[in-house]
Structure 1
Amino acid sequence: MDDAALDLAPQATTAGEYVALLRDVRRRSGLTYREVSRRASATGHWLPPSTLATMLGRSTLPRERTVVALLAACGTTAGEVERWLTVRRDIEAHLSERDRVAIQETGTTTAPPADPAPPADPAPPAAPAPPAAPAPPADLAPPAGPVPPELVSPDVPRPARRRLRLAAVALLAVLTVGAAGTLLPRANPTTDDAPTDDCPVVLRQGMYGPCVQSLQERLVAGGLFVPVDGWFGPDTTSRLIAFQALGGLPVSGTADGRMLDELSGDLVAARWPEERVGKYVRKAFPEDPAAAVQVARCLSGLDPYRVEIAADGSRRWGVFQFSDVELSRLGVDRRTALDPVWNVRAARDVWSRTTSFEHWDCAPLP
């Protein structure tokens, strides 16, 4: 992404200027509409080429999730995406009440009135139609639909016949649309902040948007604190893995619909705050409590539910960060590793064999 395109974002003051800058971002990216759509899908967004073309072809304010999908596909950073959204919200705040209602119902502002079309050449006067015949009884009325030419009386003037055909076609279209309306479900308009069914089948690290934010809110509500910023980063992955381990679920670090259903209510029955963990560590290492707390803080921030993921995919668990290999050797599962009592006692057993903390090579946490 060309930084010059990003620097233009704060200069937009109208919906038309905002969309023009989005068009410039897409142009500078060098991506086709289909390539943008594929990249948006890879980052967890839904942006069909037709939707993108419609958005960039208008001078009306697009909805937030569509803007985020385009910018994410073009490689825009999180900070720059937030700048774009701030500009959009400022523009929306100055719209008329009618336009704000239109955004809530359709996702875009009402289109500006088009220039009046030039008057058409006057048509020659049509020949007067003959007096209408009395309507036939209902059971003898002809079926709705275009009137075949052979059923039109040859003494009816040509313009009148054309009007009859157009009326029949219009009636058939109305009946068809009405029937379709009774068969197809009616879509409920939603705002950007309301839950939608547009979420990807699987949420995974690297994605961004309201679906990820909903996942983060559920983790926090269950006692597993994580920044609720809409970004599926390492912290969210760590917390999701902790939840999966605590619940005895497959530890994948990704969330599908079933996983989101599981994320309700209290996930952690008894949350151990940092102060309580530190107190328990001091009690377990009376010989050198300060050093024990320092090591535990360095390893996990005294967070009993911390899961660290190494570059090779291996993981470390709990207060003293026992590895997958160590858990296998000790014959315990990951849920047990996240139990602060077991974790600290296991660390005490390791320490008692050497009376030193050299087993843990820890660099201070960022």
Structure 2
Amino acid sequence: MRKHPLNCGCGGLAGRCGGMPPWVDRHRGHSVTERDLEEFAGYLRGMKERTGRSYEALAKRAGISSSAIHRYCSGKGLPADFGTVERIAKVCGAHSDELLELHRRWIRAEAAQAWAKAEGAPTVPRDAAGAEPTGSSAGPSAEQEPAATGGEPVEDDPAAPAPPSEEPEKRPAGPARFSSIPFVRRWLTVAVVALSCSGAAAVGTAALMSTTAAAPGPTTPAPSASPEDGRLLLSRACPPIMALGEHDECVRELQRILLKAGGLVQVDADFGPGTLRHVVAFQVLAGMEPNGLVDDATKRMLYQNTVKMIRWSPAKVEGRIREVFPEEPDRAVGIAKCMSFLDQYYSLPNVDGTRNWGVFQISDRRLAELGGSPLRAFDPEWNIQAARRLWSQNRDFSHWENCDQTYRRSESPDPKGGSTSSPAPGKKKPSPSPSPGRDENGR
């Protein structure tokens, strides 16, 4: 039986069980990191193969280099943030259940990587969004990738990637089904699960104590909402805490309220990444802790109908970016589109529990340095001006190195023979590798 390295009785995390390193599967000899990475890569590869598109075709639609997508699908690299994975999955037609499963597999791969690194085990490169490999080639080029068999190849579409929202209820056949999660590979997800379970347990315990105390005399039922009073989320039909991964009418009700509040969420009863982003945005605007969990306080605030997601149109956001970055307006707009699809309420979590916020996805660490907050970061004017301040430090876009590389690569192959990949005169050319602490993840 495979023993978990954190509970093997042989020295804990740094110990050894049976003379074998703890990151090695005792039966197969495979590293935990390799198995987790292959589970993630295989799921993503399945999405790619069913489209019939080449790596190059997907790269154009997702705004990510073809070599990076190939690395992720072959298990030779791991994206540093889930936003990169989500863009690839979206252009592959992934529905919300698949996005959720892909997110779980990415978290497990990230967890195994961090643990193996701490133990001195071999790891694979953790790629940033769309980053090109340096040195040797990462694999076959997009031109060498054959079209997938089993169906007609799909024509490449020059249209931009779809905005970040939930997918419709009509669902294509997905790759693999949900897989079991060995204990060694879910240490990052256990916090969310424990929080949800503890909330449910607390509510259940309180209800039991109330019933027991009231048993000797007349009972006085505690006031609670029912579906008839129009507040389904507060009724017993819905769980005390709603979170990522649920699929029921309670989630549909949540999505309807968010849509009424000005959100762009798809009403499909799936609590996926898009719904999670809307919940986080709502909590920020309501002055609540932005944890993405729909607890009793969040439900009651939703029904108060006092929070409105007033937003700028993408055209207005783009126009303002061009005004604030007159030196390189196209480049600034390209980076913002890569980061947030010009959605002022866009946010993405990082593995360490922090988040990136707003149009230019400014990290929690940068917000602290700039005297901002998530609420201020959701103001497009403040976010764009904050990005200008970061740009002014070196008069370049090195704070968004990964999306900047993606933009420059997309501009360099000019069919007319020109090239826009060279920096403007007098501008410092960004380094081909991310600068320490300067990527869009705030690391």
TM range (shorter): 0.3 to 0.5
TM-score by length of 1: 0.46
> Whose radius of gyration is greater, 1 or 2?
1
Structure 1 or 2: larger helix share?
1
TM score, norm. by length of structure 2: 0.38
